[in-house]
Amino acid sequence: MMKGVPNYLVALAIIALACSVASAYDPAPLQDFCVAVNTSTDAVFVNGKFCKDPKLVTPNDFFFQGLNTPRNTANPLGSNVTLLDVSKILGLNTLGVSLARIDFAPYGLNPPHTHPRATEILVVVEGTLYVGFVTSNPENRFFTKTLNAGDVFVFPIGLIHFQFNVGKTNAVAFSGLGSQNPGLIVIAKNIFGANPPINPDVLVKAFQLDTNVVESLQKKFM
């Protein structure tokens, strides 16, 4: 301890330093972008939603019913994701968490995708899922597991990942995500279904595919 300096001043200095370090970064955005405006007339509120007067809050603001009901998986992928984010449960605003139920038909797939704003932790409650994620360049390491009921797997924030039902029966999983608005980028759909379309020459070179193949994929995902 420095001589002549009261203990409480040292403690206050340490707290101040800790607070300055903790706040010395931009908060993670809860939307894809935020373009600055010079006047408030054209502005919108971002990084959350406007808050309800606490005196008007009710239990229903924190409630959702029916997540036990199986979802329809009659689609080309054979899967259905029910996401409970801040748009479904308003009480999630500012709490940094959301929840999803994922239903799979036999051999159904939740295709390769990323969540730009959230880590995901998944638990299988029914069936058998083949899951995995790929790390960023240059390693591109593939981490994978086959999960059965009761097994848990984590998908780090921003990394491409998937879940595939390798069983002959339906499968169900639940995921917790570390954002009230985790975001979703489905690799194939976002690239080949971009609006307006990405110039096929770009995709031909990027994926080393024939032009006819690229144009066919774009038509499929539009």
Dihedral sign computed on CA atoms, order 114, 117, 119, 120 = negative
Q: Indicate if the pLDDT at residue 202 is higher than 60.
A: yes
Structure tokens at 145: 């597991």
Residue 40: its pLDDT value, please?
65
For residue 45, the model assigns a pLDDT of 66
Residues 117, 95, 183: CA angle, nearest 5 degrees: 25
pLDDT at 209 over 80: yes
CA dist 108 and 117 (Å) reads: 25
Instruction: Give the pLDDT confidence of 133-158 residue by residue, as tens digits.
Output: 999 999 999 999 999 999 999 999 99
CA distance 12 to 73: 58
Percent of the chain with pLDDT over 70: 82
What mean pLDDT comes out for the span 160-166? 98
| Residue 3 pLDDT | 56
pLDDT of residue 210: 98
Model pLDDT for residues 66-120, shown as the tens digit of each residue: 999 999 999 999 999 999 999 999 999 888 899 999 999 999 999 999 999 999 9
- Angle between helix 200-207 and 211-221 (nearest 10): 110
| For residue 59, pLDDT beyond 80 | yes
Please give the structure tokens belonging to residue 177: 């995500």
**Residue 80 near residue 105, CB atoms below 8 Å:** no
What proportion of the chain, given as a percentage, has pLDDT over 90? 72
Q: What is the pLDDT of residue 27?
A: 61
Q: What is the DSSP letter of 56?
A: G
**Token pair of 200, please?**
């096929």
